[in-house]
Structure 1
Amino acid sequence: MRKLFIILSLFGVTQVSYAQKDYNQWSIEANAGFNKAMAPLSPDFYSPSLNIGHADFGLRYMINEYFGVKGDLGFGSFSETKNKSPEFTTKYIRMDIQGVVNFGRMLNFESFSKKLGFLGHLGAGFGRMSFEKTILNTSPDYHYNIISGLTGQYRLSEKVALVGDISMITNGRQTYTFDGNYYNADKQPDNPYENPMVHAMGNWWTGTLGLNFYLGSKDQHADWYLASEKYATKEELASQINGIKDMLKDSDGDGVPDYLDKEPNTPAGARVNSAGMTLDSDGDGTPDHMDNCPFLPGPASTNGCPVEEITEQVDYFRKAINENYLNVYFAFDSSKPLDYSVSSIQFVSNFLKKNPGVQLEVKGYADELGSEDYNIKLSKKRAKAVYDVLIESGIDSSRLSFIGYGEDTSVDKSSSDARQMARRTSFEVK
């Protein structure tokens, strides 16, 4: 056993030194469950179909998402069927090196579930059986074996998976029956203590439940890694780049591409919303880019500022938030604010500086594209990006917090324009 793990460890060090992958490759396996000694058994000896008494431990290395190798150690005992067979106890231990195939990836299990997996394994090794309650003066029986099996997986987290395995083992050059009371030969010697030195095969199987523990610093293990989610073909990239170029045309230079711009001729310097329309946040008839007090209504004669000082600015600011005037928008799969949204952050910063008693939460969102875990991470990155800009502008971090809410469920998922509006951060006055 010591040699087996030394060999596997050296193999792993060699692989790591040659290449770094985008996924984890090592895992530890621990399983326990049933065994069944099928044949040969001595006349009138029987073993139960589900005999509790097997455990195995393994170390697995995946070369890529589809193929790997593992070494494992299995041990346990066979016993008789109660009230039907004479008593016997046979203890065994086996060690094997096996090749592993990730059928779940080959069969595209991710098309219907990203939590289910399916592995196959095949290999060879050697084993030892020792016998108790036998009529023969037997020494331990050493043999080689061939093992094959199928393993179902259910991912509990990125680091742990629940597994169920069924394996068939064929022993070669097995000297005794599994109960140890007969020689594994067609004809028994006249003297039961005289070993005829005849060897034949023995067949048994195991059924277990257990856990796989994934090792490494990457987000996913090779069992669950989907290269197609990260990489696109050259043709797909070229098509996407051409499409992005067309989408980024901005005729009036307001930071909103033409395909989203509902007011294509806004004046230079105007503050606009995500649809490219000029904003008048306080509704006083003076556009924000001409309004010296964009959140306080006032006449045009005072450049949009109130004639009398209004002290309840927080109410106006909260109103602007509730009516979606202050959102920061992002491009697809990006945590960098779009240019036309930066002014929203500036307005928030100025407000906080004028109202030192106000605390603020930055809330990040994403569209429905992508997995739930990925959208949570992306929305949090977006909120953190805006949070960092506010701190850089001079706002104390104790007045700010940020959180990622993942997918924005309030928009129409069938509309590409709506998805763009979902890629945003908003604010909440605390």
Structure 2
Amino acid sequence: MKLSLAIVALALAVPTASFAQDSTAVSNGEYPNTFSSGSANVSPFTQQSKRFNDWAISIGAGVPLMQSADLTSIKNGNGKNLFGYSAYVSIDKAITHAFGLKLQYDRGETRQGWFSTKDSAPSGMPYQEVAARTQYDAISLLGDINFSNLLRRVDNHSPYRWALHGYAGIGTLAYRAYQKGANNKQALMTEVKPFKFNSLFGQVGTGLKFKVNNRIDIEGRVMYVISGDDEFDGGGAQYSAVNQREENTSDNFFNTTLGVSLKLGKHESHLMWHDPLQEIYYKLDVLANKNQDIEVCKKGDADNDGVCDDWDRQLDTPAGARVDGAGVALDTDLDGVIDLYDKCVTVPGPVENNGCPTTTTGPVKETERTLEGIEFDLNSDRILPSNTPILNNAVGYINSSEGSYNVVGATDTRGTDAYNQKLSERRANNVKDYLIKNGVQTGKLNAIGKGEKDLKYPECEPATKCPEWKNRANRRVYFEAK
């Protein structure tokens, strides 16, 4: 039976660990993909690209002590201090730097009661004339949490040689429990075979590892085994006299072990000993020591207006003129005189009068007038917040004029003619509606769309021939005096 358990343990090791292998693999193996950031630096995670070992074999031996049972291994319980023996072997797989799995085989013998089964029963005290021993074999799957990696402080730069681990898992337990009484004869009280419903058990515990070198670890471990069986201690049938001494229905024991782990693989270090924070600190140090020369304004700033020529739309701005983000001189009242030369910045007036209204009484008569500057995002008719100051000034200007205006919408050359025509009409109507809501008389405005037939920059046909700022300038609404 014990030999067959060992064979089963090895047979289960390969498929179990393979299933725990990297779960981030992409089915088609192509990058970038839906699950990636789209970066050209993304590469598949394969066996060849791994940087750390993630397999190990562990062996160890220890002493089990029956703690919660009708017959115990501890003097202040239902017995004397009786020490058994145990041994384990496991195949370990690290999933991440903080979590792994172990497929483990245990074999051992617990000794419990008032004397050792190797000795004769004492006489004169019937309650103490009972001893037992339990030979067990177990196969379990354990989860392994590396608390030292999981809870490591970000400012801890100390060498990483000690690691606290936590374990929990379930498995199948096979055992033979023997009892010795006053007649000094040992009798087989209970036998449980593996892979049966009543052979399930659980165990939890903790271990402290020390890294001897990149291949070998030493670990002290304390596990608490929960058998779920009231007959594991050798007390006999469930309602026998011995098994009536305590009310608990699960015979549990501590198993203290000392073991060695051999890390397998071609790499220098193991994943469970890798501290990602240390690697981050190293990369930050490299970046801090690296001179990065960033060249700004490759083409310079010819007109010295604070906007680089790379994206300056007015390369000959007069010295001292205030500009917008595109390097265009500001004309607050949209009268064709930039603020630098405008004597009446907020009130529109003719160029020949330095941007100030003439002394003529009554509304201003405009026979030919074009107001521009209202641009739109690609494939959008939404009025941008940056356009509202221009439109608000236009309200005052149009109301002060006795003439009426065409609100003309236009697009760039992307899209079909029919689509661009409708888009230009929507842009013109949106601007018209905005002006009417803000006080312009309905009869002074007429919205029309010209699609892509009225380009501010005709050379942008097709749009790929021009920089984006020219295409954006083509996506506009402007005013024409009727």
Indicate the TM-score class for this superposition, using the shorter chain for normalisation.
0.3 to 0.5
Q: TM-score, normalised by structure 1?
A: 0.48
Q: TM-score, normalised by structure 2?
A: 0.43
